Homo-oligomer: A and B are copies of this chain.
Amino acid sequence: MRTTHERKAETRDRILAAAGRLFRSHGIDAVGVDAIMHGAGLTHGGFYSHFASKEALVAEVSASSLAHSAARWERISEEEAPPAALARIVESYLDPAHVAAMERSCVLASLGPDVARRHEVRPAITAAIRRMLAVLARCLPGRRQQRAFELLSAMVGAVVLARLCDDPVLADGFLQAGRRIAGLR
């Protein structure tokens, strides 16, 4: 039997999920509280019994989305041997499907500059970036730490640039470049 308290927590999660989806596809400032609540199947009024402000929601949704990505990378690196884990992480990140699916994409590549402007979110983002770097370092051979910084930079930059390119051939050039930095193919 589902208690009132559980029901509220589920609703809260639905709001977070809808906000994450809408923020990534349209940008944070282009999406109002009204649209977020509608995306969660609710009306706008109840919002403030779940979050103190839209800005508080923004902070929570960016931090939790990125933490979710970090956790997924950690899970992959525990399930598979280093080279296979690296390949899975990098290939899925540089997959044209990931480039196209803005609404489910990594926060670093879809909301990076917007999040960087909100200083109060940066501690949580920094923590998640550390976790992602640690996973990459664990999977990489050679000078692991340095190569993790290089690879994460290249992955994020490649997706941002591929999304900016009108020409699919040019976009693919960036994705291939990311794979080479990872040591794949």
Contact = CB atoms under 8 A, between A and B. Distances in A.
Contact of A160 (B29, B116, B177): B116
B126 A149 contact: no
Instruction: Give the bracket for the number of chain A residues in contact with chain B.
Output: 35 or more
B150 A116 contact: no
Contacts of A67: none
Binding site secondary structure of chain A? helix
B109 A146 contact: no
Contacts of A117: 25-27, 102
Contacts of A170: 126, 129-130
Nearest to A157: B157
Contact of A129 (B27, B115, B164, B176): B164
Interface in A140-174: 146, 149-150, 152-158, 160-161, 163-167, 170, 173-174
Contact of A150 (B29, B126, B160, B181): B181
Interface in A108-125: 108-117, 122-123, 125
A44 interface: no
A122 B166 contact: yes
Interface of A: 25-30, 102, 108-117, 122-123, 125-126, 129-130, 146, 149-150, 152-158, 160-161, 163-167, 170, 173-174, 176-178, 180-181
A165 B129 contact: yes
A170 to B, nearest CB: 7
Nearest to A26: B117
B161 A174 contact: no
